[in-house]
Amino acid sequence: MNKIAKYLNQHLIGNVFDSPQILEKYSTDASALKITPQMVVIPENTSDICRTVKFVNQLSEKSVYMPITVRGSGLDKTGADLGDGIVMSMEHMNKILEIDDRSRLVRVQAGVTLGQLNSALALYGLTVPILTNSLDTIGSLIANFATDSAAGKYNGIYYYVDQVEAVISTGETMQTARYSRPHLSRKTGLTSFEGELYRETDQIIEENNDLIVDLGNRNTIDASGYQMITQVVRDATKSFDLLPLFYASQGTLGIITEVILRCEIFQPEISHFVAAFESINAAQDFIQDIMPLVPKELNLYDARMFKTAVKHGKDPALFAPKFYKGYFVLAAFDEKPRKNAKKMKKCLKLLPNNAAAVIETEDNSVEFKRLKSAIRSYLNDDVKGERVAIVDDFYIPTEHLSNFLTDLKTVEKTYDQELLVYGSFSTSNYSIRPDIQLNSVEGRQFVLKFLKEFDDLVREHGGSITGGTPEGRLKALVTNSLHTEEELELYQRIKDTFDPKNIFNPGVKLGASETDIVRHIRTSYLSGIVE
């Protein structure tokens, strides 16, 4: 064991590892990249995190650079979970600390997964209505600011976070809160680094007011950079809160340790409705008609992915084979049973004559589960290579979707492969998974070429490849070049304010470089199920 790892092990309750087999496990996430860390720190409490950050600061003063990358469940698709210094895994910071069912508040450590949290809240008749991978940690939902498929109805994670505790770059902790202007002076008057954060951020906003207003008024949904600077000050009250800056920050500004969340009443009854259409226009017209019914989930799938799943024995058998060339629309309603039934009937009435539909019942509920299993089967199909997450979670405005899909057919012909779209119509966020042979030079070259060309296509249709999640390492190769010089200066100033020694996740967001990415594109398959 190296000296740094041994020293940290002597001063932390948690563990520090540097054995090759453990480093290998933490060298990949859900992206196309592989970066082997020098060591893995698994803290048991906030004090462990503070000590580690303080120690890294001390090393930097001696010109020894050991940056920290925070990792949740390792599900990031842009390489933001990976680093060549310390990877700090939050897997043991997974305690539910307090549930106040009367106030509908819950306090958790950042490493608690969404599935763990909602299982515990269900005992109190509560839930945090986020519909994404149940293994996502609460900290990563904030840091990656993921737009989940229920956000069209429930507004997403931003709406439910009340307050966070975070370890900042000096190793101190801070708790966010929204302060009125008179109370803000108490924070700006502090002589600590936290006080400096408040003073400098307030000054940044004042000096860049016109640019920040412009960023806030843009129509395109985009999680790149530090665009949540637009939410630090609320126009109506002029109140001030640093919490928004942690959204989409991907661990580059601080390490979230605890979170207080608001909850909703848990609705145990969820009814599903699936319809099949021969064209995207027919599917889109139907979706627009049922949007006023406010479904919890409203997803669109290229039906060819189910045709692919059939060969693996995952045929949902809900529709005739002729519909496996168009689009499926899956809607979920989470009202009381009688209200759900009424909404289902309205869906049937709105269905055009040339479409087909099935309502979930006790008799066919298994087939509906097989429908979602078929999607996973498709994502793990390896016809030409691995289905790699390069451009997941991109945003396309509803009014441009049909033309975008038409132009995507041309791209399919160019690359001689099917590029099947799936995602949430209610949030306008979609994904595609091209087949790539990462173990070949051509395959690794394809990653960069496709990323850039796909970004051009998305922007031509008023969209953004960072509409659903931020840029991380990989997407930053194109998003950084799209920001104006003024925007980049603003974002860099924010980063320098919070992390002056650049110890938090360098190379992510602003620090991405093509040379660095090229040498870190992995050459082997992920050793697990692709989600």
Domain ranges within the chain, ordered by starting residue: 3-92, 96-265, 268-381
Question: CATH topology for 3-92?
Answer: 3.30.43
Which parts of the chain sit beneath pLDDT 70? 383
The Cα 466–Cα 502 span in angstroms is 23
pTM: 0.95
* pLDDT, position 369: 84
The Cα 235–Cα 25 span in angstroms is 46
The Cα 112–Cα 140 span in angstroms is 10
* pLDDT, position 312: 79
DSSP state letter for 270: -
* pLDDT, position 315: 77
The Cα 222–Cα 467 span in angstroms is 4
The Cα 478–Cα 465 span in angstroms is 9
Question: CATH topology for 268-381?
Answer: Alpha-Beta Plaits (3.30.70)
∠ CA 406-410-415, nearest 5°, is: 140
Considering the segment(s) 96-265 as one domain, its CATH architecture is 2-Layer Sandwich (3.30)
* pLDDT, position 334: 93
∠ CA 274-275-281, nearest 5°, is: 135
HSE at residue 107, side-chain half, CA atoms within 13 A, is 10
* pLDDT, position 443: 92
Beta strands in 92-249 (DSSP E): 96-100, 105-109, 126-127, 161-167, 173-175
Token pair 């480093």 in the structure block, residue: 23
Q: How far is CA 189 from CA 19, 182, 193, 199, 403, in A?
A: 46, 12, 11, 8, 54
Q: What residues have CB less than 8 Å from 209, skipping those under 6 apart? A: none
Report how many helices (DSSP H) and strands (DSSP E) the chain contains, helices first: 18, 20
* pLDDT, position 306: 83
Radius of gyration of the chain (CA): 23
* pLDDT, position 321: 77
Average pLDDT value over all residues in the chain? 93
From 33, 142, 16, 146, select the one nearest 80 (Cα to Cα): 33
pLDDT digits (tens, 9 = 90+) for 194-212: 999 999 999 999 999 999 9
* pLDDT, position 484: 96
pLDDT digits (tens, 9 = 90+) for 169-183: 999 999 999 999 889
- Cα 102 from chain centre: 30
**CB-CB contact of 161 with 142 (8 Å):** yes
* pLDDT, position 105: 98
